[in-house]
Amino acid sequence: MKSFYLIACFLLGEWVINPVCAQLIDSKATNETKALYNHLVSLSGKKIMFGHQDDLAYGVHWKYEDGRSDIKEVINDFPAVFGWDIGGIEHGYLNNLDSVPFDRMKKYIIEAYHKGAINTISWHTDNPVTGGNSWDTTRAVKEILPGGKYHHLFVSWLDRVATFLNSLETMNGVKIPILFRPFHELNGGWFWWGRPYCSPEEYKDLWKFTIEYLRDFRHIHQLIYVYNTNSFSNELEFTERYPGKEFTDMLSLDIYQRAPLDASKEQLENSSRKFEKQLKENLKVVAQIAHQEHKLSALSETGFEAIPVRNWWTRVLYNTIKDFPISYVLVWRNHGLMEAKNKMHYFAPFKGQKSEGDFKKLYKKKRMLFSKATKKINLYQ
C-alpha cells in the first residue's frame, strides 16, 4: 500500500503530501478536525481555497452588517477560508486590536463553519514584559518561558486564549476546528517574538510550550497548528526556528507585493515581476520542506494593498501559485481608509474596485475553491 502511494505521489507531482505519512500532531483530535485535515490532505495539489481576513465583519465601505462580505458582493459566493485575529483576548478585552468585538467574531466563526468553510486564527498578542503591543520588540520570549519572570502572566494569557478557542462551538456542542497560527512571521524583525529578539531554541520552546499547554493541559483538540514565516532569502531562514514534525501540521508563508502609492505603470510592472519571483522561490522551499516533513502548506497572508493592478488576481497571483500544493491563499483585511496614514488599506476587491472583473475570472478557475464548493465537499465529515 505504502509503495503504491509513494509511486502515486511521484506521478502526481514531486511535492504532493503523501497521505500515508500525513498525520495530525494531536492524536486526540476531534472527528471534525480529523475530517477537515484528511480533506485538506486529499485536496492538496488539486485545489487551492481562497481566504480573506475579517471578511464577515467589515468591508471598505461598511461595518458589522449581517450577511455582507466584500467578496460576496463581487462573485456572489463567500471565501472558503475566513481569517481572524485574537490580539487583545489575552487581557480579556471585549474587542480585538482592530476593534472587532470578540462576541461578534465568535458569531462569524460559527457562521463560517456552517457555511462549510474553514476558520484560521492568528494572535497579535501584546508584549507580556512591557504591556506594549506586538510591535513592541522589547525582549520577552525568554522571560515568558518556564522559569522566566513573566511565565505565570503568559500562562494566564494562554488560559484566556484556550477559553476563547473552546467557546467556539455549534449549538450542538461541536467544537469548531481552527487552523491556529500563533507567533507568526517569526523570521521578521517587527514582532517581539521575531528573529532578532530570541534564539532559535527560545522560539521553539515557546512554540512547544504553547502547543503542549493548549493540547495536553487544556485538552483542546480542535486545532491544526500552522507554522509561519514571512518571505525569506534562503532555506535556512525558513527552517531555523522550525519546531519539528511533532509540533506542526502545516507550513506557511506570508508575503505581500508593495509599490509606492504613486507608482507609474512601469514601476507596477517591475514590482509585479519582483513579487512573482520571490513568491515562487519561497513557495518552492515551503513545498519541498512540507513534502519532506509530510505537512500541509499554505500562503497564509498575501495581497497588494489597494490592488492597483487590474489583472493582479489571475496574471500575478494565480499564475504564480497554481502549480504549488498549497491548501489555501488568504488576503488580508479590507479596513478601508486609514486616516492616520491617509491611505486606503484593503487587499480584497469590492464592488466597483478596479480588479473586480479579474477577480471574477479567478473565481472561475477550476483549481480555486470558494465556500459554495467547500460546502459540497463537506469538510467536517
Interface with ligand BMA (CB under 6 A): 85, 97-98, 124, 332-333
**Listed residue (246, 303, 253) closest to 281, CA to CA:** 253
Q: Measuring CA to CA, how many Å separate 185 from each of 13, 173, 189, 231, 280? A: 28, 33, 9, 8, 18
* C-beta of 41 vs 330, nearer to ligand BMA: 330
Active-site residue among 90, 143, 185, 293? 185
CB of 132 to ligand BMA, least distance (A): 14
Round to whole Å and give the CA distance between 14 and 289: 12
CB nearer to ligand BMA: give 122 or 297. 122
Asked whether the CA dihedral 140, 144, 147, 153 is positive or negative, the reply is positive
Which of 307, 368 has the CB closer to ligand BMA? 307
Using the minimum distance from each CB to ligand BMA, give the nearer residue, 181 or 333. 333
Q: Nearest Cα to 374, choosing from 16, 80, 15, 26?
A: 80
Least Å distance, CB 48 to ligand BMA, is 22
Cβ at position 96, least distance to ligand BMA in Å: 8
In this complex, which beta carbon is closest to ligand BMA, that of residue 45 or of residue 87? 87
H helices present in 52-95, as ranges: 70-75
Residue/partner pairs of 171-176 with CB below 8 Å, 24 or more apart? 174/30, 174/32, 175/30, 175/32, 175/33, 175/220, 175/221, 175/222, 176/32, 176/109, 176/110, 176/113, 176/119, 176/222
DSSP 261-328: TT--HHHHHHHHHHHHHHHHHHHHHHHHHHHHHT-EEEEEEEEETT--STTIIIIIIIHHHTTS--SE
Nearest to 302 by CA among 270, 269, 280, 325: 280
CB of 124 to ligand BMA, least distance (A): 5
Catalytic residue check, 185: yes
The cell for 48 is 487551492
**Separation CA 24–CA 242 (nearest Å):** 16
For residues 17 and 296, is the Cβ–Cβ distance under 8 A?
Answer: yes
In the structure grid, which three cell numbers stand for residue 29, read together? Answer: 483530535
Strands 343-345 and 368-369: unpaired
Query: Nearer Cβ to ligand BMA, position 145 or 186?
Result: 186
For ligand BMA, the closer CB: 62 or 256: 256
Catalytic residue among 143, 293, 301, 305: 301
List the grid coordinates of 283.
513557495
Could you tell me which of 50, 46, 36, 13 has the C-alpha nearest to residue 291?
Answer: 13
CB of 98 vs ligand BMA, minimal distance in Å: 5
Least distance from ligand BMA to the Cβ atom of residue 41, Å: 29
**Rounded least distance, CB 85 to ligand BMA, Å:** 5
Annotated catalytic residue 301: yes
| Catalytic annotation, residues | 185, 301
